[in-house]
Structure 1
Amino acid sequence: MRSLPDRIRHTLMFEGIALGLVTVGGSVLTGHSLQAMGGLGVMFSLLAMGWNLLFNYLFDLWDRKYRDMAARTVRLRMVHAVLFESVLLTVGLFLTAWWLQIGYLEAFLLDLGFSAFFLVYAFLFNWTYDVVFPLPRPQGEKAPAH
């Protein structure tokens, strides 16, 4: 199971990279100002960091109980990303409509775009994170080959 400092590093790295990509990319793609997209990005970032910390902690508890922290497969990471993003999509709809002063349909479509981006981003980031920062193993236990 990952330690709290490791989870904090994971969360800050994930959100920092994402915030830069969303602010610039969102502004270019939607025509909203960098300030508007940056503000929305910061709100989403704070929301996502809290959810990320809680979700991944719960995920690790589940993984330890039901899978004994076995190697995380591509399929498992795909399920992980979909579950995580489903909650953010729901909350993000209302936040986006309010912040950008747009209708729910436009907010929903924008949120779907963000969710599609984050689905791929979360998968790639977490897979890379697992490779760069492998899960700790009990002493004497060898990590499985990738």
Structure 2
Amino acid sequence: MRTHRDRIRHAVGFEVFALILSIPIMSFFFSFSIKDISVIAIAGSIMATLWNYAFNIAFDKGMLSLKGSTFKTPLIRVLHVILFEGGLLMLYLPMVAWYLQISLWEAFIMDASLVGFYLVYTFSYNWIYDKVFPIQHVSYA
């Protein structure tokens, strides 16, 4: 499994690159000011960083318990992304709706529009991260 320091590097890197890409994209497509999008993006980034850290520890422990290994096949990576994003959605929607003064439904539509981007981004980032910072896979055989 990854060290706590490595998990922090992973989570912070994920959020920094996501902010660099997402703020201008969100501002352009949703017609909100860069300031408003920056506020929700940074708040969401902090929320996502904490969620990323906790979720990945739980996911790896679950994999060890169920499979006896932390090795992630492409199918497991897809499941990982879906579960991660679903949990984050439940945390993020109320904050977006409140700050932008829009309904939860509008916040959901806004977020749903970004899910495609984040699904591809999350899969790609994690795959690249694993290539750049490989780990010894743990197996209980």
TM-score, length-normalised on structure 2?
0.91
Q: Equivalents in 1 of 2:8, 2:113: separation in Å?
A: 26
Q: Equivalents in 1 of 2:88, 2:137: separation in Å?
A: 31
C-alpha contact 1:93 1:108 (8 A) present in aligned 2: yes
Residue of structure 2 in register with 1:144 after alignment: none
Following superposition of structure 1 onto structure 2, how do residues 34-53 of structure 1 map, counting pairs within 5 Å? Answer: 34-53=34-53
Q: Which amino acid aligns with 2:91?
A: V
Residue of structure 1 in register with 2:118 after alignment: 118
Q: Aligned residues, how many? A: 139
Following superposition of structure 1 onto structure 2, how do residues 21-40 of structure 1 map, counting pairs within 5 Å? Answer: 21-40=21-40
Higher RCO (CA < 8 A, seq sep 6+): 2
Measured after TM superposition, the shift of residue 125 of structure 1 is 0.8
Q: Equivalents in 2 of 1:106, 1:118: separation in Å?
A: 18
Residue of structure 2 in register with 1:74 after alignment: 74
Label 1:3 to 1:70 Cα distance change in 2 as closer, same or farther (>3 A).
Answer: closer
Q: Equivalents in 2 of 1:28, 1:80: separation in Å?
A: 29
Measured after TM superposition, the shift of residue 69 of structure 1 is 2.4
Label 1:35 to 1:60 Cα distance change in 2 as closer, same or farther (>3 A).
Answer: same
Residue of structure 2 in register with 1:20 after alignment: 20
Residue of structure 2 in register with 1:96 after alignment: 96
Measured after TM superposition, the shift of residue 131 of structure 1 is 1.5
Residue of structure 2 in register with 1:60 after alignment: 60
Give the % identical residues.
37
RMSD value, Cα: 1.6
Q: Which amino acid aligns with 1:92?
A: Y
C-alpha contact 1:22 1:37 (8 A) present in aligned 2: no
Classify the secondary structure of the residue corresponding to 2:2.
coil
Do structure 1's residue 105 and structure 2's residue 105 form an aligned pair?
yes
C-alpha contact 2:71 2:137 (8 A) present in aligned 1: no
C-alpha contact 1:89 1:115 (8 A) present in aligned 2: no
Cα deviation code 1:14-35 (max 9, x no counterpart): 0000011111110111111111
TM-score, length-normalised on structure 1?
0.88
Gaps of 5+ in 1: 142-146
C-alpha contact 2:96 2:107 (8 A) present in aligned 1: yes
Measured after TM superposition, the shift of residue 137 of structure 1 is 4.6
